[in-house]
Chain A
Amino acid sequence: MQPGALRRERDVREAYAAHSGELYGFALRSLGDSGLAEEAVQETFVRAWRAGDRFDPQLGSLRTWLFAILRNVVIDLGRARATRPRVAEGGIEPSVDPLEETLLSWQVEEAMRRIGEDHRRVLVETHYRGRPYSEVAAELGVPEGTVKSRVYYGLRALRVVLEEMGYEG
């Protein structure tokens, strides 16, 4: 894509086809309301189109740019409702911006959806449900070492997907 290449309606249609699902997912996670989330996505693409001349792919991806716009839209809509955007439970450190934490939380959940079923399953059973590896291995009919391997490859896959989504931790 060339600098300022989000000027035509066709560019916006292509950008919508590529990124609307993710943008909507994050908007819904932040605002907790499907109507508001759709408004946020609509406003994001309209703002992106209005400022299309300023988009420079040399400085960052279109996806990153759209997410930066969406973040501002979510803040505006959150202020308009006079409520704070929803915040994920738990957290990495107390000083983290709630919206950044929501974004990270949504990214991890989205990445979890994208890794293989075998990998996701062992992570859910062992880590989230706290079940012993031996029990999970027996249930799946595989050696315990295979469960450990799947946990290893699952975390690796998760890291790759997160990096694709722009996570730089």
Chain B
Amino acid sequence: MKADRNDRCREWRHLLGAYALGDLGDEERVGLEAHLEGCPSCRAEAEALASVARLLPLADPDRFSQPAPRPAADLGKRIAATIGGEERGRRQRRRWRFGLACGGVATALAAAALAIFVLPGSGGGEPEQRVEFASLPAGIHIGATLQPHAYGTEIHMYVKGVRSGTLCHVYLRGPHGERVPAGTFTYRWGDDSTAVLSSALDLSRTRAIGVRAGNRTFVAPVHAAGATADDNSTQEDVT
């Protein structure tokens, strides 16, 4: 009996795809439906295929006929650089906290000031650039430290005073005015206001750094070695 049923199932089962898509002629459809009535196994298979068939209109054959898009080959390296930079920042902050915990208040304040202005320049003697955004609305402070790497530039951004939750897009501007993205971060009030980002543009070719915070963009010149930027920090309207 079981063998008979399997044979009958084999006979009908290959029609289940066309049935799920509503493509069977009347004769085959009526015969198949009669089989389904008495065969829970084929009925379950028909229902499973019907749920897949319902999804087909969501797909566009022009898209899936093309190869799957791939990100730029260096994206993995950029991510590793961002995470590596952030990890170094974490270790550095842990050291600062340790220093703060060990000293008195006055000593700690002095140590913090030194940490901010001395430590960033002491990492292996590389020519880091410290950038201050000067012409900012009252209450907003933005600063950045730029460090050269083989892959481009590592950027530590310090932001204060913009609305908590603001999404900030950062970019570097090259010698011909081209913008090279450096990533995004969300400013959270009361949280760590330092973000570590990276851009593929070499620091030696960087003329300016820009931050789009909400609907405003702030730009500051970068005087890297070999660079000749003579503009001042400005605020631009987003177009």
Q: Is the CB of B49 within 8 A of A45?
A: no
**Which residues A29-60 have CB closer than 8 A to chain B?**
34-35, 37-39, 41-43, 45-46, 49-50
User: Do residues A17 and B76 form an inter-chain contact, with CB atoms below 8 A?
Assistant: yes
Do residues B75 and A101 form an inter-chain contact, with CB atoms below 8 A?
A: no
User: Which size class do B's interface residues fall under?
Assistant: 35 or more
Given contacts A25-B69, A104-B58, A159-B49, whether A16 and B76 have CB atoms under 8 Å apart is yes
Report if A109-B75 is in contact (Cβ < 8 Å); known contacts: A24-B69, A24-B70, A152-B16: no
Say whether B54 faces chain A, with CB atoms less than 8 Å apart: yes
B71 within 8 A of A: yes
Interface check A123, CB cutoff 8 A: yes
Q: Are A108 and B59 in contact (CB under 8 A)?
A: yes
- List the B side residues contacting A79 at CB < 8 Å: 167
Interchain pairs with CB closer than 8 A, number: 150
A41 to B72: give the CA distance in the assembly, Å: 11
Q: Are A9 and B84 in contact (CB under 8 A)?
A: yes
Residues of A with C-beta under 8 A to B58 = 88, 90-92, 101, 104-105, 108
Q: Which residues of B contact A35 (CB under 8 A)?
A: 181
Say if the beta carbon of A5 comes within 8 Å of chain B: no
Which residues of A sit under 8 angstroms from B83, Cβ to Cβ? 9, 12, 45-46, 49
* Chain A residues, CB < 8 A from B3: none
Chain B residues positioned under 8 Å from A20 (CB to CB) = 71, 75-76
How far apart are A48's CB and chain B's nearest CB, in angstroms? Answer: 10
Could you say which of A39, A110, A120, A123 contacts B184, with CB atoms under 8 Å apart? A39
B56: Cβ under 8 A from any A Cβ: yes
Asked if B236 is at the interface of the complex by the 8 Å CB criterion, the answer is: no
A124 at the interface (CB under 8 A from B): yes
The yes or no answer to A3 lying at the interface (CB within 8 A) is: no
**A residues lining the B interface (CB < 8 Å):** 9, 12-13, 16-17, 20-21, 24-25, 28, 34-35, 37-39, 41-43, 45-46, 49-50, 76-77, 79-80, 88-92, 101, 104-105, 108-110, 112-113, 120, 123-124, 126-129, 133, 145, 148-156, 158-159, 162, 169
Can you list 9 residue pairs at the A/B interface with Cβ under 8 Å? Answer: A20-B71, A24-B71, A49-B86, A88-B60, A92-B55, A109-B59, A123-B56, A127-B23, A155-B21
7 nearest A-B residue pairs (beta carbon):
A152-B17, A151-B17, A109-B64, A112-B64, A108-B59, A105-B58, A24-B71
Q: Which residues of B contact A (CB under 8 A)?
A: 13-18, 20-21, 23, 48-49, 51-61, 63-65, 67-72, 75-76, 78-80, 82-84, 86-87, 167, 169, 181, 183-184, 186
